[in-house]
Structure 1
Amino acid sequence: MTITENRPEPGPPAPGVRGWLRDRSELGVSALLLVVGLLVVVDTLAESGGGTDSDPIGPRTIALVLGGALLLLAALLTIDILRGGRGEAEGGEDVDLEAPMDLRTVGMLAGVLVATAVLIPLLGWPIAGTVLFAGATYALGSRNFPRDLAIAASVSLVTWFVFDGLLGVDLPGGPLMGVFGA
């Protein structure tokens, strides 16, 4: 049994190049994977610096492997699509495919992301992360403010300690830098 046997039969072909592309709209995902994979590989190869005596492989290896994997996925997806493979339509029983997009929720989530980007350099990650996580829970419908704020602050602090303290990834601490000294 091949992968394409379980897929629905495509409808009658639409006329012209636009119709051909419309029937194979998944090629857009392939193109995106290709572009991102090329960006990762080209940027990694352009970076100077490699391994050291203590780490002969260096950080470039992981980036090259990920970029190569993205390129391979783009090629495999393109081949599948050109052979007639089609993505399966959303079949979730709790999803109303006819319902319009909730622009209010999308707008609130976008606002929270922009606010986080603005707040990170000003207040540091722990506070900006708390705004991000608590704001996202509010935008998605939770109204238990004390619990959401406590969880958001905990997650934000834990990620800051892990990345800044343990992994050595410099995240700005803001006013908490003096308190915790991480």
Structure 2
Amino acid sequence: MDKRRKVANPLALAVLAELLTGPMHPYEMGRRLQEHGKDRHIKYNRGSLYMVVEQLHKAGFVAEQETVRDTQRPERTLYALTGEGRTELFDWLRDLLATPRPEYPRFGVALSLLGALPPEEAAGLLRRRLDALTREAEEIRAAVREAADGGVVWVFLADDEYRVAVLDAESRFVTGLIASLEDPDYVRGWHEFFGGTTGA
């Protein structure tokens, strides 16, 4: 059974991790998350980031350290990681790494209903998906090479390497699925079963 978290948004975990390096204000957190490429894995905007910081503050995981005032910018509150926040960070991270959980991807939903589409159309749509998967994998590989050449330590690129591995595995699966959809026995059987009753 999943452990109930006081703040369950994955963005909260990223914020706690950023604060390991020292106190900072939400704007700085957002800038660093983008610099570290975390915005590719966690959806957020400025409003959601400030909301998560406030939730972490209420939960006792971060504390206001000081308020910075200068004439150039608006007043900014710096937040620091508390002892409880540090404990939560490592407990949550260890749990996510060690325990696989179903994630209910949308592609899985589409696959469970794949038989509703004519084989020819389904194969064509999957070819489009395969092209998109290939492009994305190539883009990530290029970004990883550039980061590695720039001196980024491999452990900070593990999430990108994982994404490429997932994309490659999905590409192999989709390639095989297209071949199955184009098998004459399946095509004939589908048309006999549905008789042109599906497909808008």
- Report the TM range for the smaller structure's normalisation: under 0.3
TM-score (norm 1): 0.27
Pick the structure with more strand per residue: 2
Q: When the two structures are superposed, what TM-score results if normalisation uses the length of structure 2? A: 0.25
